[in-house]
């Protein structure tokens, strides 16, 4: 998620917003920039200056030696690339054509392409590949018609669809900042004869602890004298400020004790971001990233090979089953470190789907290169724009998870699964494997998932009770069939990663083929039973574990009661389409792993021996 800062007051504007931006570096970014409307020290020239650079803040700071003491209203931004690579032209802020308005933006503008075409026809010239740049030109166009910056910003916002937090500064009103928010966070900091804005509280804490959190649909005007909040249509809104009592380290985590817990709570929004703009009203999946792939080319792939490591591999296990279900075509999933050494059966008839959060995973990158050498077509699922895997792929579907700080993946995993579902439905629609009604049903099922995950996160207290009972146990088994087996793999990994406990995942039918010998009193067995067609089989597994004094935890859909008598503890999740249950069923397991690790006093965000991005074989 991008970092946004803004300032209006008597302090040097550039120095202030850059200092605030440093406190948001933990969020991850690939470029940075600043705009200031005011006077350079010793100058009587009033103008709007933008300085930006690809790379870290240190690169930008090296270009700001003549700007540090500039007085004036300022905005700054760190960008996590989505539309357009991590380059200097794509960095924010973006100028209007007359260079009198600058704008920064966090979010995704869904209809940017059609707006860009309209603005181009009206004579506007674009200098970047971003969706954001259309917004500053919309403001400029509206200002020409109205002569009022506030009206112009409001009119521009009425034309865009999607998610945004924006901040706007101009030489037309150099002592005023305009800001608006929907879906992406934006916070105002209230000072004396000065005011601030930022995308997260840590940026503000050195300057003020009195903050006001904007809500979806809010529009704010900031100057030295104060702030005024209204709806986008101009209706006054009362937002009560509050006093931040956290220390700065806690503030970086949004008040959460660990990044992992923060990122678990971010999953509903991350899923919504992955979906945004990718499902039409008629239920058809839209993946502009695959526009170059004709229906005939897609139909020519006789096999699909999914390649990934760790958590991303588990996402691939879900995708294999889904692809085969909706495409009726062989799909395989291979651990990337085994792929290149296993004489893989891939060639020009193979669609190779490469999955990696960072886009830099060494084994996965090596597998991609081997698949390309063998003639396969590469479609990658990554979170980081401009990463090595993204650059070397024929097409890239970005998961839009935003930065993930904790080593143990949570929101990156669920967004990978979501993106893989979208790819499967896109291929099925292209090949006319599904009827319009079926496509619509799948689309409705996908759009219900963010709310379903939100409901699970809201029930964290029930998982906390269970974690207290399990924290002193030493052996865990996770069982499932079909889609539930895929979830069991990821659930076991989460517990291993951060609690350092022994945890194994098995296809439930395999328990009688050996692992059942290990079940005794004190052994915990988590059984996933979200698939109606397999429920009776899973019930038998619950009973055979219970008969051997194992402690049984069942994960079942709401309304399901048949497991109650056989399980020691039942976790209920919202009922969704069975094929989409993996996204919902994994969330209580993420919470359970987190809470057990916390009870055991383990290091959670940076577990021993592990790294966020594995860049060596």
Contact criterion met (CB below 8 Å) for 375 and 301: no
612 flagged as catalytic: yes
* CA 118 from centroid of its chain's CA atoms: 30
Torsion of CA 94, 99, 101, 102, to 10 degrees: 20
158 flagged as catalytic: no
Q: What is the Cα–Cα distance from 543 to 56, expressed in whole angstroms?
A: 56
Q: What is the Cα–Cα distance from 525 to 534, expressed in whole angstroms?
A: 18
Provide CB contacts within 8 A for 445, sequence distance 6+: 576, 577, 579, 580
Q: What are phi and psi for residue 487, nearest 5 degrees? A: -65, -40
* CA 92 from centroid of its chain's CA atoms: 20
Contact criterion met (CB below 8 Å) for 50 and 76: no
To 5 degrees, how large is the angle CA 460–CA 464–CA 470? 140
Q: What is the Cα–Cα distance from 65 to 80, expressed in whole angstroms?
A: 25
What is the residue-wise DSSP string for 273-290? HHHTTSB-TTS-B--GGG
- Of the candidates 504, 503, 505, 498, the one whose C-alpha atom is nearest the C-alpha of residue 595 is 498
- Of the candidates 116, 140, 141, 120, the one whose C-alpha atom is nearest the C-alpha of residue 129 is 116
Q: What are phi and psi for residue 64, nearest 5 degrees? A: -110, 15
Q: Which of 56, 209, 537, 612 is catalytic?
A: 612
SS3 173: coil
Q: Which of 2, 309, 352, 579 is catalytic?
A: 2
Q: What is the Cα–Cα distance from 203 to 580, expressed in whole angstroms?
A: 38
Element (H, E) at 267: helix 267-275
Q: From residue 153, how far is each of 17, 146, 184, 225, 548 by CA, in Å? A: 22, 11, 17, 21, 67
Q: Residue 505 corresponds to which tokens in the numbers above?
A: 């995942």
SS3 200: coil
What is the residue-wise DSSP string for 468-521? HHHTT--EEEEEESTHHHHHHHHHHHHHHHHH--EEEEEEGGGGGGTGGGG--T
Q: What is the Cα–Cα distance from 572 to 287, expressed in whole angstroms?
A: 33
> Which positions are catalytic?
2, 612
């Amino acid at each position: 998620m991008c970092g946004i800062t803004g300032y209006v007051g008597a302090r040097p504007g550039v120095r202030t917003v850059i200092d605030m931006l440093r406190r948001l570096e933990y969020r991850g970014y690939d470029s940075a920039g600043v705009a200031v409307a005011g006077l350079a020290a010793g100058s009587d020239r009033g103008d709007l200056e933008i300085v930006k650079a690809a790379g870290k803040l240190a690169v930008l700071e090296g270009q700001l030696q003549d700007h540090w003491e500039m007085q004036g209203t300022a905005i700054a931004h760190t960008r996590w690339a989505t539309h357009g690579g991590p380059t200097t032209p794509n960095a924010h802020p973006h100028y209007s054509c007359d260079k009198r308005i600058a704008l920064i933006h966090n979010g995704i503008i869904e209809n940017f392409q059609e707006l860009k075409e309209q603005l181009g026809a009206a004579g506007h010239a674009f200098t970047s590949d971003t969706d954001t740049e259309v917004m500053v030109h919309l403001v400029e166009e509206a200002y020409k018609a109205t002569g009022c910056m506030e009206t112009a910003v409001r009119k521009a916002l009425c034309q865009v669809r999607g998610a945004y937090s924006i901040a706007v500064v101009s030489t037309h009103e150099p002592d005023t900042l305009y800001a608006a928010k929907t879906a992406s966070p934006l916070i105002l900091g209230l000072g004396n004869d000065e005011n601030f804005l930022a995308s997260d509280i840590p940026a503000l804490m050195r300057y003020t602890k009195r903050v006001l959190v904007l809500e979806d649909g809010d529009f704010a005007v900031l100057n030295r004298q104060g702030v005024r909040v209204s709806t986008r249509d101009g209706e006054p809104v009362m937002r009560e400020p509050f006093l931040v009592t956290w220390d700065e380290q806690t503030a970086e985590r949004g008040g959460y004790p660990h990044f992992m817990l923060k990122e678990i709570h971010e999953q509903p929004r991350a899923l919504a971001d992955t979906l945004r703009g990718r499902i039409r009203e008629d239920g058809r999946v839209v993946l502009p990233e695959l526009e170059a792939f004709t229906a005939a080319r897609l139909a020519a792939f006789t096999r699909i090979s999914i390649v990934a490591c760790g958590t991303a591999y588990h996402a691939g296990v879900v995708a294999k089953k889904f692809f085969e279900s909706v495409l009726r075509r062989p799909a395989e999933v291979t651990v990337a470190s085994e792929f290149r050494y296993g004489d893989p059966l891939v060639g020009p008839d193979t669609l190779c789907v490469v999955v990696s959060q960072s886009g830099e995973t060494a084994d996965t990158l090596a597998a991609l290169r081997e698949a390309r050498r063998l003639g396969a077509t590469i479609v990658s699922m990554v979170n980081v724009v401009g990463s090595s895997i993204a650059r070397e792929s024929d097409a890239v579907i970005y998961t839009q998870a935003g930065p993930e700080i904790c080593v143990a993946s949570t929101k990156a995993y669920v967004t990978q699964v979501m993106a893989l579902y979208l790819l499967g439905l896109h291929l099925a629609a292209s090949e006319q494997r599904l009827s319009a009604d079926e496509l619509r049903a799948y689309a409705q099922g996908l759009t219900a998932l963010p709310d379903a995950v939100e409901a699970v996160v809201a029930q964290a207290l029930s998982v906390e009770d269970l974690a207290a009972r399990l924290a002193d146990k030493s052996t865990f088994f996770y069982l499932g069939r079909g889609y539930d087996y895929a979830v069991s793999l990821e659930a076991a990994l989460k517990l291993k990663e951060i609690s350092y406990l022994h945890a194994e995942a098995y296809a439930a039918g395999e328990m009688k083929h050996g692992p059942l010998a290990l079940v005794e009193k004190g052994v915990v067995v988590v059984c996933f039973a979200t698939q109606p067609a397999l429920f009776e089989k899973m019930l038998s597994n619950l009973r055979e574990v219970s008969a051997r004094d194992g402690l049984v935890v069942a994960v079942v859909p709401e309304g399901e009661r048949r497991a109650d008598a056989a399980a020691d503890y039942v976790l209920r999740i919202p009922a969704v389409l069975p094929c989409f249950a993996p996204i919902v069923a994994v969330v209580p397991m993420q919470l359970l792993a987190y809470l057990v690790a916390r009870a055991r006093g383990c290091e959670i965000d940076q577990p021993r021996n592990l790294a966020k991005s594995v860049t060596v074989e």
